[in-house]
A and B are shown apart, each in its own frame.
Chain A
Amino acid sequence: MIKTSKVTKSVNTSEGKLEILHPISFEVKSGESVAIIGASGSGKSTLLGLLAGLDEVSEGEIYLDGEPLHTMDEEARAVLRGQKVGFIFQSFMLVQSLTAIENVMLPAEIAGLDNPKQMASKILEQVGIGHRASHYPNQLSGGEQQRVAIARAFITSPKILFADEPTGNLDATNSHKVEDLLFALNREKGTTLVLVTHDNELADKCDRQLTMQAGVLTESTPVSPLQRSEAV
């Protein structure tokens, strides 16, 4: 589903060129869930941005569902995102002036799908906040907002879902609820999941883990919760 080959990202600063990502090559299979873990500033979000087509690579190639992202301009990438990609963010990124249901409808409307309202209503029920459909984001709790974001991410049944610290802004109880929901929907829809997290527990729920360290990506073996508790 995702194939990267020698992807780099560098930016020009006043002190010269700064390499944020060193050549990165890996593949993610369809239906797989992958966690990218690493310390703050290691380049996780930069990689996520590149994989999702939100940013352009400096060098290298990225194929998303067979489509060469690295050759596309922003417009083509936007169309591709609309058709195949879903997003969940740490800060929820809901449009404040739209209600919960309208936020959920948004990607369906942009993609030109029929009956976006019915679809949104159904999926909001599914994530358990159908009764809050007409509320604005600032009238919802953090957990509720993230559920709306999840509903929005799944409404178009995307092939790939990118999640950036999806539980980073939530307390433990809400984190668990959101994680469960995310994985349940992921399994149900057969979506490929790429998530960036600090949270080892969340990373452990994924099929694979990639560790980012100072712009270098390495594959790491998933550690089971049991093993971690023994280690402690």
Chain B
Amino acid sequence: MSMTSTLAWRLFRHEAKRGELTIILLAIVLSVGAVLSLSLFSERLQGALKERSAAFIAADAQLRSDTPIDEIWLQQARDEGLNTAKQVTTRSMVFHRDEMSLVDLRAVNENYPLKGTVNITDVPFGQKEAATDLPMPGEVWLQSLLFQTLKLSLGDSIEIGDAEFIVTKVLVDIPDAGFSVFNTDPIALIRLSDLDATAITGPGSRARYVGYFEGESSAISNFYDWLSPNLQDDLHNWRTVEDDESAIGRSVASAERYFLLASLLAIVLAAVSIAVAAQRYSQRHFDPVAIMKTLGATKQVIRRIYLLQILFITGLGIIIGLIMGFIGQQVVVWLVAEQVDVALSIWHWRPVLIAVFTGATCSLLFSLYPLMQLFSIPPLRVLRRDLSTNLRSRTIQYVASGGAIFLLMWIYSQDLMISLILFGSGVVLVAGLLGATFLLIAAGRKFGSGKMGPWQLAWARIKRRSMENSVQLISFSVTIMLLLVVLVMRNDMVSQWRSQLPEGTPNYFLINITGDQKTELDTHFKSNGITIEEFYPVIRGRFVAVNDDSVNTEVSKEDDSNIEGRQGLGREANLTWSNSLQKENEITSGIWHGDNTDTLEQGVFAVSVETDVGERLGIELGDMLTFNVGSEIVKTKVTSFRNVNWQTMQPNFFFVIQPEAMAAFNPTYITSFYLPEVQKSELTTLLKPFASITMFDVDARINQLRDIVNQVSVAIEFILVLVLVAGSLVLIAQVQASMDERRQELAILRTLGAKGSLIRKSVVFEFLIIGVVAGFMAALANELSLYMLQTKVFQMTASLHFEYWLIAPIVGAIVVGALGAVGCWRLLTLNTSALLRKMV
């Protein structure tokens, strides 16, 4: 070993043994541990959530096509190492004796489903259980409703097209049944090999072909890269778990963003703690460097010794951090195992690489300036102790630290927006804090004079240590702000999720209700203690033209029964009419026709169009839309666009027309109701008098959604705790580092006979003042960050959180003051001579 590495190793060994490296080591361990545990946990959780999402499309990716899927494509997927399955879906009539019903026929091959389960039962509306197999050839599984409408029982046979099938099971659901209130024909499940015998998928049939793919994400994307040139927009639709637009998909996506945010904040926290620790480390080495330089060590030697030391510390910190992080997240997983599904695979390379990269980058880049200070210590310091670094410009420090944080955020999030928002808020905060420090120092000048009480002493110290205090204030504020962001964001997000599905959310929909049945149904349900929600009139109409352009092709593209909430715009659109705006609908442009007094030309009626569908079809305000209802033509004019909250469990409509337009038609009605779990068994009796009404059960779906929201909420809670722990450790490191700087002053005050209580009080007061200011500044910066994050990243409604303007300063004062008191208490337990010796 060379002299420099021997020296570096020796210094490292001794310092580690004597506990001198604890803080910097702890900071690195913390950064690596926090990032690893957070990202490992979130990766595992995401894995589990993705599994769940995958179950909703029965695979990791789906290809839906209007034409049969080429066998070569499936072969290519298998060559890529993917599992494949097939389904053909079409609407068809089924017959049983004199009864008939329209069904959503699903013909699947033996591999279906690749993800999720087919659930069955032995009695209609019975308890579901997962099927271990599929219907055998010649068999069919039917949903409960069909047993009512076709008046059949298990073992009966039904006809589908030219073929006859034996009904062997009651089908509860299939993974990709889709979720829609309209066009909900009950499902009939058969083997794909039986489909030909039915002869219902000949030319002109509206069969839809689905290919399912399951495997590694990389294999899926490789396959998609190969496949995409062959796909045609008007025939094919490729969908993966990632682009799940459903409510679940959105919740999962925002949870993922939250994890990302929490991890980013953990990185920043870690960076702050490393910066604090590195500064302290550097200051403690001013003397050894001056001594070594005096004894003949050149700058190069010093540079090597200290860079090697930092490498040793970083290496050790990373190793311990990885171990701690891994154990930490295992403990969390173990703690939440009851409430949260986490993926079984416990090791992911990405979080490990990120954690190592974070630890290394933070410790090297944040040590850069302190190390440069160290390298520039003049040897003359051995004679003149007041000499410190020659380095005056802090530009390099700002560039290195700022650059490091931004770089890490960007690399980690791969999201420029979220990185810019956090970084920008940070910069604004720092600028604000510099101003605040300035004011504080000015205040210190005013309050710090007069008789030496603890308050005066505290203010005087704030004034004198203005530079150190501003650094400290900034780091306290950043830490508190980050904790606030994580905390408030979590509260807002979870309450927003929960509010989407409050208790009593309708879990059953009734459709095909005739006008005559409305009152009877309402009374019947009321007498059974069940409240029916609003009745919405519905009439099917074909959307045929925008102005004079026929839109048949565009419309058929939209006929995607699996896009949750988007149902209703198909070859037949579900039209409703009303003069009052539905709940959770918001006019984005134009004037809602219920409020509009302008009269349109004769025979033209106002229509309000959902914003997204309007954009997709290129509809603009003032366009004339033509619908074909039965044999009649209804001409409408777009007078408003609406935003619709698709995440609510209520019927939503793309088109809402002025009531006068529909006066001549005979609509059916749709409504929903909430049935508690305990009354579920009464369902059949409840609906018995209304045989023509179709019921649609979304209870399972709601429970699934709620389940996921709860799981994600619990997971987020734990992430919050992790970040809080990380933040607290940073605060402790900061207080401890500043205690070092205070040691000398305390020793002098003690020597001069100051009472322990005076010193303690003055230190606590000083920290209280810093804590209050830091808390308040953090609350302000928190609002800014939250506003940006909620509006730009999480697509949530931003709100102000005035309560934190009070809570943050109080908590800041208490926590920082208490930490100060503890740190100070430790110093005061040393006797004066020990303190003085520590000064040397």
> B-contacting residues of A (Cβ < 8 Å)?
45, 48-49, 52, 54-55, 74-75, 78-83, 85, 87, 89, 91, 93-99, 102, 106-107, 109-112, 136, 138, 152, 164
Contacts and interface: CB of A to CB of B under 8 A. Distances in A.
B295 A110 contact: yes
Nearest to A112: B3
B296 A110 contact: yes
Interface in B1-23: 3, 6-7, 10-11, 14-15, 18, 20
B383 A102 contact: no
From A75, A91, A109, residue with most partner B Cβ within 10 Å: A109
Given A110-B292, A138-B837, A93 B297 contact: no
A96 B839 CA distance: 11
Interface in B373-416: 378-380, 382-385
A54 B3 contact: no
Nearest to A91: B840
B295 A97 contact: no
Contacts of B453: none
19 contacts: A45-B383, A45-B384, A49-B383, A49-B384, A54-B383, A75-B300, A78-B293, A87-B295, A87-B382, A89-B382, A93-B287, A96-B287, A96-B840, A98-B10, A102-B14, A106-B295, A110-B292, A138-B838, A152-B295
Contacts, number: 95
B10 A81 contact: no
Interface string B251-291: 00000000000000000000000000000000000011011
Given A93-B287, A98-B14, A87 B380 contact: no
Contact of B383 (A48, A75, A106, A111): A48
B6 A109 contact: yes
Contacts of A80: 296
A164 B294 CA distance: 13
A99 B384 contact: no
B429 to A, nearest CB: 34
B296 A79 contact: yes
- Is the contact region of chain B dominated by helix, strand, or loop, or is it mixed? helix
Given A78-B379, A89-B382, A95 B288 contact: yes
Interface residues of B, number: 33
B705 interface: no
Contacts of B755: none
B301 interface: yes
A30 B672 CA distance: 107
B316 to A, nearest CB: 16
B298 interface: yes
A211 B385 CA distance: 23
A107 B295 contact: yes
A44 B723 CA distance: 56
Contact of A78 (B18, B288, B296, B385): B296
A94 B294 CA distance: 12
In the A-B complex, the 5 residue pairs with the closest CB atoms:
A82-B296, A107-B295, A54-B380, A95-B288, A97-B14
B206 interface: no
A136 B11 CA distance: 12
A87 B294 contact: yes
Contact of A74 (B11, B299, B382, B837): B299
A107 B292 CA distance: 8
Given A49-B383, A91-B840, A93-B291, A102 B296 contact: no
From A74, A87, A96, residue with most partner B Cβ within 10 Å: A96
A99 B14 contact: yes
Contacts of B385: 91
A107 B383 CA distance: 18
Contact of A107 (B6, B296, B379): B296
Contacts of B20: 97
A75 B295 contact: no
B6 A83 contact: no
B292 A54 contact: no
A102 B3 CA distance: 13
A89 to B, nearest CB: 6
B298 A89 contact: no
Interface string B800-827: 0000000000000000000000000000
B773 to A, nearest CB: 32
Contacts of A54: 294, 378-380, 382-383
Nearest to A83: B296
From A82, A83, A164, residue with most partner B Cβ within 10 Å: A82
A143 to B, nearest CB: 15
Contacts of B18: 97, 136
Contacts of A91: 385, 840
From A110, A111, A152, residue with most partner B Cβ within 10 Å: A110
Contact of A89 (B10, B299, B383): B383
Contacts of A94: 291
Given A102-B10, A102-B14, 4 more contacts: A87-B294, A89-B382, A93-B287, A112-B3
A89 B379 CA distance: 13
B691 to A, nearest CB: 89
A108 to B, nearest CB: 9
From B294, B296, B301, residue with most partner A Cβ within 10 Å: B296
A138 B297 CA distance: 24
A134 to B, nearest CB: 11
B296 A81 contact: yes
